[in-house]
Amino acid sequence: MKIVKLQHNGNTIYNIDTVDDRAYLISLGVDVEALEAEMREAEAKAERKMNADYNGVSVSLTSKDAVGLLQVQSAFALGVESTKFVFANGTVMTLDKESFVEFATWFAVERNKLFV
């Protein structure tokens, strides 16, 4: 796993990989397996935070999803009546022109919660 910045025993290590630099990390006394487990848990926590429940469906709230929804909005303005949207978390949802504003408003509110 790639680590941009690691604080260990008063030292700061930059741009290190737990696979490629495993021997070096162990020589410093780093418990590499515990470090990787912590990193996996942090990634999982961040991923859970980037999802929200919409009427029983898990919807991801990534910037790619937000941009995609802007494209869907443009398509509806051009006359498209419905479309399937694939979210970053793999969820596929059929969106239609009539219910889009309600969904997009919910999405914007939920995504905004990530930043406040």
pLDDT at residue 19, rounded to an integer? 84
Mean pLDDT (whole number) for 18-22: 86
Mean pLDDT score of the chain, rounded to an integer? 90
pLDDT at residue 21, rounded to an integer? 87
Statement: residue 85 has pLDDT above 70: yes
Statement: residue 103 has pLDDT above 80: yes
Helix then strand then coil, % of the chain, to nearest 5: 45, 30, 30
Statement: residue 42 has pLDDT above 90: no
Tell whether pTM > 0.85: no
- In sequence order, which residues have a C-beta less than 8 Å from that of residue 114 and are 6 or more positions away? 49, 50, 61
